[in-house]
């Protein structure tokens, strides 16, 4: 239980609800070239930037609990920060500390993983994203575990950077003494294994067939697989097909009874489904696993603290307490949260501090709009209209005091690397904001517009001198998140001058929680990061 909030003497709230709009992946670009946000036609946002109090917020690195300001933000840590009102050390930092201090290898989970392999003279498998982006995983964590294992017996990067990681890693494995280490299988993160929120279980099925069963197109090496798929399809790395490394027609790394498996991603949303495939019993019905090996399985972290998934994990997740939602429920605030499948968990699970389910069934309604299972560049508007329909219905009903939503377009379409599609995605969000603005006007509400991190604002790779990196005569596409700040706009048509029109600067997105509390008529807890509002 949390203490009740104090009423704000300087702000009594508004007649209508507070509507929080999170424009996923929409930031302020550093470069003119490649900024699909700046070049999009967005009359509603442009008007608000000119006429409404607004500021820039930090959404990466230390501002969201990552190890350094060289680390790009992401939707998971972004929504953790927005919903909790404070900054908690996040996955990458926790795992790095756990490895550096040696605590990971002293823990029960690692000892069970390694002990099983030693006892049974079996194989230790590592599955995860090959990357140094510190968003889903980090290659250094994988290396550290492999070094330790030898002693005892990959979108967060450029769109075509796979070989810059695969080739040096092959050399690294050759240098490991006392073990035979191989890359045994792989594929693009948007094609195999890493689905989330049950949007496309076929991805997980392809991952299971590839990693566990060794079924799929065979190659002599990962290098050969990547080069071949690129030449045949022209796909960027995240969309590459599945591949299996084989010798004499036999896969080199199928997962068998008695083996140990570590899923080394620390981010939870894309880890839950493959974990369910490994840990699920006869009740598992998402796809035909054909063969379920009896293994000792561990995740890098506990991906769901309420459901305790996985059963075994190497690093404890951040303990996020006293989130905004708990305080609002304590005050009887009626809440609606909505997004489409791709980001539904972000405005619920992650917003609530990695907590499954509702905080208060009577006070909260959560709405998931099913996402289309198509490449996002082919339908960049995604489910913006449908999400907005739910919001408008919620506003008009008079049932809710606080409505929060996520429009995924800037992030999900930005990840495709298709500039025109990213522009359309941003333009769709602007249209939706225009619709919400009219509804807010009609009921005397307030709208706060922000983002969890940047993406569509930085669609091209740039050199150190700021010029665009070119490849075959065209700009080299960037599909990763950006390090750019994000907007915070306060649209308050019924405002009576209770706060200054200039908002605080130099804050992070964790300040959104206190801002919403203020606009609802409450003072935020003393240890929450400060609101962007400055009382007169």
For 233-266, what is the HEC assignment?
Answer: HCCCHHHCCCEEEEECCEECCCCCCCCEEEECCC
Q: What is the pLDDT of residue 161?
A: 67
411 contacts 24 by C-beta, under 8 angstroms? yes
Please report which residue ranges of 468-527 form alpha helices under DSSP H: 511-519
CA 34 to CA 482: how far, in whole Å? Answer: 12
Domain architecture of the chain: domains with CATH: 18-90+319-519 (3.40.720.10), 93-315 (3.40.1450.10)
CA 245 to CA 187: how far, in whole Å? Answer: 11
339 contacts 406 by C-beta, under 8 angstroms? yes
Q: Cα–Cα–Cα angle for 511, 517, 518, nearest 5°?
A: 90
CA 98 to CA 131: how far, in whole Å? Answer: 19
Peptide bond into 310 cis (omega under 30): yes
User: Max alpha carbon distance in the chain (Å)?
Assistant: 77
Q: What is the pLDDT of residue 388?
A: 98
C-alpha dihedral, 501 to 506 to 508 to 512, nearest 10° = -10
CA 263 to CA 298: how far, in whole Å? Answer: 6
Residue numbers in the chain where pLDDT is lower than 70: 153-161, 305-306
Model confidence pLDDT, tens digit, residues 177-230: 778 899 999 999 889 999 987 889 999 999 999 999 999 999 999 999 999 999
- Residue 109 in tokens: 């989970």
| 216 three-class SS | coil
**How would you write 405-424 as a 3-class SS string?**
EEECHHHHCHHHCCHHHHHH
Q: Which amino acids are annotated catalytic? A: 75
CA 491 to CA 445: how far, in whole Å? Answer: 9
Q: How far from chain centre, in Å, is Cα 31?
A: 24
Please report which residue ranges of 331-462 form alpha helices under DSSP H: 341-345, 384-397, 409-412, 419-443
The partner residues of 251 in beta bridges, in order of sequence, read 246
Q: What is the pLDDT of residue 178?
A: 77
Q: What is the pLDDT of residue 39?
A: 98
CA 85 to CA 357: how far, in whole Å? Answer: 20
Q: How far from chain centre, in Å, is Cα 411?
A: 9
468 contacts 42 by C-beta, under 8 angstroms? no
User: Which among 402, 289, 362, 348 is positioned nearest to 18, based on CA atoms?
Assistant: 402
Tell me how crowded residue 89 is: count the other CB atoms within 10 A of its CB.
15
Q: What is the pLDDT of residue 27?
A: 98
What are the backbone dihedrals phi and psi of residue 105, each rounded to the nearest 5 degrees, phi first? -85, -10
242 contacts 203 by C-beta, under 8 angstroms? no
CA 302 to CA 310: how far, in whole Å? Answer: 6
CA 478 to CA 426: how far, in whole Å? Answer: 17
242 contacts 215 by C-beta, under 8 angstroms? no
User: Which among 451, 360, 382 is positioned nearest to 45, based on CA atoms?
Assistant: 451
Q: Is the dihedral of CA 389, 391, 394, 396 positive or negative?
A: negative
CA 501 to CA 277: how far, in whole Å? Answer: 52
CA 521 to CA 168: how far, in whole Å? Answer: 56
Give residue for tokens 């909790």: 84
The partner residues of 262 in beta bridges, in order of sequence, read 126, 298
- Coarse DSSP helix, strand, coil percentages of the chain, rounded to the nearest 5 percent: 35, 15, 50
CA 185 to CA 323: how far, in whole Å? Answer: 40
Q: Is the dihedral of CA 6, 12, 18, 20 positive or negative?
A: negative
């Amino acid at each position: 239980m949390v203490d009740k909030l104090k009423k704000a003497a300087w702000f009594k709230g508004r007649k209508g609800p507070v509507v929080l709009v999170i424009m996923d992946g929409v930031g302020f670009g550093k470069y003119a070239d490649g900024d699909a946000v700046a070049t999009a036609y967005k009359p509603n946002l442009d008007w608000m930037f000119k006429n409404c109090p607004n500021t820039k917020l930090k959404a990466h690195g230390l501002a969201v609990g990552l190890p350094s300001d060289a680390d790009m933000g992401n939707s998971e840590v972004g929504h953790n920060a927005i919903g909790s009102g404070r900054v908690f050390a996040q996955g990458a930092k926790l795992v790095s500390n756990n490895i550096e201090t040696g605590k990971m290898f002293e823990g029960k989970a690692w000892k069970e993983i390694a002990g099983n392999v030693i006892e049974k003279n079996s194989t230790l498998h590592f599955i995860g994203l090959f990357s140094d982006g510190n968003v889903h995983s980090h290659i250094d964590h994988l290396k550290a575990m492999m070094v330790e294992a030898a002693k005892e017996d990959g979108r967060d990067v450029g769109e075509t950077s796979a070989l810059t990681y695969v080739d040096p890693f092959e050399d690294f494995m050759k240098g490991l003494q006392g073990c035979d280490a191989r890359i045994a299988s792989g594929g693009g993160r948007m094609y195999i294994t890493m689905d989330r929120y049950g949007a496309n279980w076929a991805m997980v099925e392809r991952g299971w067939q590839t990693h566990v069963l060794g079924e799929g197109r065979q190659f002599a090496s990962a290098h050969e697989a990547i080069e071949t798929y690129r030449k045949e399809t022209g796909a960027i790395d995240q969309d590459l097909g599945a591949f299996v490394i084989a010798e004499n027609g036999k896969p080199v790394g199928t997962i068998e009874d008695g083996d140990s498996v570590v899923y080394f991603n620390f981010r939870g949303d894309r880890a839950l489904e493959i974990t369910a495939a490994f840990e699920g019993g006869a009740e598992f019905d998402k796809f035909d696993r054909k063969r379920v090996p009896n293994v000792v399985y561990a995740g890098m972290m506990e991906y769901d603290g309420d459901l305790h998934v996985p059963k075994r994990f190497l690093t404890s997740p951040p303990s996020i307490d006293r989130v905004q939602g708990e305080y609002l429920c304590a005050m009887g605030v009626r809440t609606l949260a909505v997004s489409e499948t791709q980001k539904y968990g972000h405005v619920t699970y992650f917003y609530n501090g990695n907590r499954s389910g509702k905080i208060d069934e009577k006070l909260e309604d959560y709405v998931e709009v099913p996402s289309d299972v198509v490449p996002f560049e082919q339908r960049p508007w995604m489910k913006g209209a449908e999400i907005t329909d739910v919001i408008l219905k919620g506003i008009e009903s008079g049932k809710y005091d606080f409505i929060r939503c996520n429009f995924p377009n800037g992030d999900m379409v930005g990840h495709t690397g298709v500039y025109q599609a990213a522009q359309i995605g941003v333009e769709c969000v602007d249209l939706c904001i225009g619709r919400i603005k009219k509804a807010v006007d009609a009921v005397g509400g307030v709208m706060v517009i922000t983002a969890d991190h940047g993406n569509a604002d930085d669609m091209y790779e740039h050199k150190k001198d700021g010029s665009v990196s070119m490849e075959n005569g065209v700009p080299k596409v960037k599909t990763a998140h950006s390090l750019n700040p994000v907007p915070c706009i306060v649209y308050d048509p019924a405002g009576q001058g209770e706060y200054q029109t200039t908002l605080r600067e130099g804050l992070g997105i964790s300040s959104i929680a206190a801002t919403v509390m203020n606009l609802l008529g409450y003072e935020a807890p003393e240890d929450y990061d400060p609101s962007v509002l400055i009382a007169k």
